[in-house]
């Protein structure tokens, strides 16, 4: 059983020292992405962008929003192929 903590992370899923938020776990399930792929993007990024509260790590098809101070995976996106407009999820070409 996973327990949601007050900071939005899930107690019980830590992979190679990285915690996953409940939202990140939901996105992984939706996208069919494995935890090792996420950690690989964080530890061996092809690109890295600073963002509010952390960084975006890009490797291959994945973009990972990661809070480095807390070592928490916040969310996962398809790199350059996904956007949200007016609350709708849109997929473009990769």
Structure tokens of 77? Answer: 């996106």
* Domain enclosing residue 50, as ranges: 3-81
Q: Is residue 28 part of a domain?
A: yes
Q: What is the mean pLDDT of residues 73-83?
A: 82
Give the total residue count for the chain: 94
Q: Is residue 45 part of a domain?
A: yes
The confidence score (pLDDT) of residue 24 equals 92
Q: Is residue 62 part of a domain?
A: yes
If one compares 61 and 83, the residue with the highest pLDDT of the two is 61
Q: Is residue 74 part of a domain?
A: yes
Instruction: Give the C-alpha distances (Å, rounded to integers) separating 35 from 22, 31, 65, 73, 92.
Output: 13, 12, 14, 10, 24
Q: What is the mean pLDDT of residues 82-94?
A: 51
Tens digits of residue pLDDT in 1-58 = 454 555 555 555 777 889 999 899 999 999 999 999 999 999 999 999 999 889 999 9
pTM over 0.85? The answer is no
CATH code: domain of residue 32: 3.30.2310
Q: Is residue 91 part of a domain?
A: no
Q: Is residue 92 part of a domain?
A: no
Number of separate domains in the chain: 1
Q: Is residue 21 part of a domain?
A: yes
The confidence score (pLDDT) of residue 94 equals 43
Calpha distance 45→63 (Å, rounded): 9
């Amino acid at each position: 059983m996973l327990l949601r903590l007050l900071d939005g992370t899930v107690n019980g899923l830590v992979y190679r020292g990285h915690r996953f938020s409940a939202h990140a776990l939901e996105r992984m399930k939706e996208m069919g992405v494995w935890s090792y792929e996420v950690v690989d993007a964080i530890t061996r990024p092809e690109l890295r962008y600073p963002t509010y509260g952390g960084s975006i790590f890009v490797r291959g098809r994945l973009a990972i929003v990661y809070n480095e101070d807390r070592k928490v995976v916040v969310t996962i996106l398809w790199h350059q192929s996904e956007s949200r407009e007016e609350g709708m999820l849109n997929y473009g070409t990769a």
